[in-house]
Structure 1
């Protein structure tokens, strides 16, 4: 019993004696250089002057770090004004292409089962793609889509006329 009391007093003494000491400030600078300045004790009591670093964030050319990349990818484009602008370009099927001296025309079918006739320059697809060219075997559509960074890029989609129907 006496032994445990003695050990607890020694332990408490060591803890309190170490906690009450002031820590000596460690300076990492080299040997002190003497100059012609006289430093009073009041200036030393205030402590060393500390310069704060100011960080300036420049937004130019950078994306907003607080905007999630996944949220931008999940936002679906709104439905268009015409039924041709309400579906993705890849979901449209070509039924046939005809041409005459005025140009090429394409007959397409949408996923809802309705068919439409397309000409060059018409707007089609969710991303407001323009029909660039209709050839005898394909339609070239140029869309402007946003990538994962939010930058708008041109995307060229080629829809080919199918020779045989798939079953």
Structure 2
């Protein structure tokens, strides 16, 4: 019985697949004949016109020689560090690596104790330390003040005041 039902179903499906859909095809052709894409025309291409480049008399930004500032050309004065002076031991260390760890008072003179690279150094007013020609101007129980000479971008030597604060005892070591 199931074979008979299966064969009947196949025949019914085959009857529906006829090529009598001509009216549907004609409707599709009628509807799509007026639908066309509209593409705007391409813009007009202008011819290339090269721009003349005349930079022969201008400065070359890639020249390796540095331009000297005007004050150097005229032999400008101003403050300058003493390059002929004998360097002190603490001048070979950057100021950031030096630590102010104590102060000594001897016969009305103050001496600061500076820790540099694991060694203690004793300094007084007028001594130099740091790599920027720093001269000690004041020693107190809480800080050491220095006057440094640094070169600005224009080549001028300018003063900068820096301080080293007293370092408290470090814990955990």
TM-score (norm 2): 0.47
**Larger Rg computed on CA atoms:** 2
TM-score (norm 1): 0.49
